[in-house]
Amino acid sequence: MSNVNPGMDAEVFEQFQEQLRRYVRERLIPAENDVIANDGIPDDLLAEMREMGLFGLTMPEEYGGAGMNVTQYIETIYTLSYAMPAYRSITSINLGMVCSAIKNSGTPEQKAEWLPRLAAGEIASFGLTEPGSGSDSAGLQTTAVRSGNGYVLNGTKRYITNAPFAKIALIMARTSKENLPKNGHVSAFLVPLDTAGVTRGKSDKKMGQPGSHIGDIILEDVFVPGDALLGGEEGKGFATAMQSLDNGRLSVGAASTAYARRALDTAVKYATERKAFGEPIANFQLIQAMLSDSYAEIYAAECMMRDAIKKADEGRKVLLEAAAFKMFASEMCGRVADRCVQIHGGAGYLAEYEAERFFRDSRIYRIYEGTTQIMQLVIAKQMLRDFSAGMHG
């Protein structure tokens, strides 16, 4: 198709992937215990990740990025996510959500100011979720009221990835008291987090995913100039957020699939080393059943991923595919992590082995970027819309 995004040169991309695969296995995985102990990625590793361009994969080349298309970006996330989730978490908000929102909807001035900074590794947050609303935009409480040549923002954002140390947040706020059709009451604002009136809650303690941080962003009479309004137009914020969420869902699906592969590889290794009744437990058919079910499910998720990203790069809408892939892959990752614990037996419950960490880490994939239940609603509503459209013409 003529509107296929060519992205990075194919040969250069393959070399980058090979370099990243080595980096994941030789640097990122060996550093995992350190990340867990300190609940953070060491500065030297972060500097290496910036140097490799991992914060600028999707930024256009003229802004200092690699100019990857969706396929290349998601394949890169898949490669990176074989390692613990903190590494994807710190880069992916820049790449998949804030960058795509600015690229798709920003003014030329906003692109020129923010994309080079994001590509260089300034860390971003995406501020949609609130204490009383997540996927429900009608419940959004944060307000942006016109004041002189700008806006005054008030509200609280909750569970915001990277909030404790991000430099900028894309904040969704209400520019109309009434709920308008197509969520026209929601606008998006680029807010540097050192702006007067912004405070951040402390990093929340979580079930898993050590080294990645979430927290509140509290906005109290925060004045931002008019040019902070994304795209310079009110009422486009929710559409921008939803466009970005397709990328976010593809990224979470890819991360789930890669982490399931890591859990399965660990389970295979353990099953061949652990002996019971005088032989490796890998010889037992019920263990083999768990391994083979896991392989088949991972393969199915990989096929879904590659179909969805190919369609995205052809310029097709992938709302359905992104939601279905995220839903299937995140649920599948939970099943594979659970089997990994089961194959380890008693050892699977001990912190000494990786299986229990995989189990805790993978649980969030079924929740963020829209829960499984929200994915079901998104898929069903779109199916019914498509059916109605077909019925009436």
Measuring CA to CA, which residue among 68, 89, 102, 47 is closest to residue 230?
Answer: 102
Tokens of 42: 């060491």
The answer to whether 367 touches 207, Cβ cutoff 8 Å, is no
Beta bridge partners of 279: 276
The answer to whether 211 touches 41, Cβ cutoff 8 Å, is yes
| CA 326 – CA 304 distance, rounded (Å) | 9
Q: How far is CA 282 from CA 263, 270, 286, 294, 368, in A?
A: 15, 8, 9, 14, 34
* Active-site annotation, residues: 369
CA atoms within 13 A on the CB side of 311: 17
For residue 272, what are the contacts with CB-CB under 8 A and spacing of at least 6? Answer: 280, 282
Torsion of CA 313, 316, 317, 323, to 10 degrees: -50
The answer to whether 107 touches 227, Cβ cutoff 8 Å, is yes
| Helix%, strand%, coil% for the chain, nearest 5 | 60, 15, 30
Tokens of 303: 């096929």
Angle, alpha carbons 259-43-84 (nearest 5°): 10
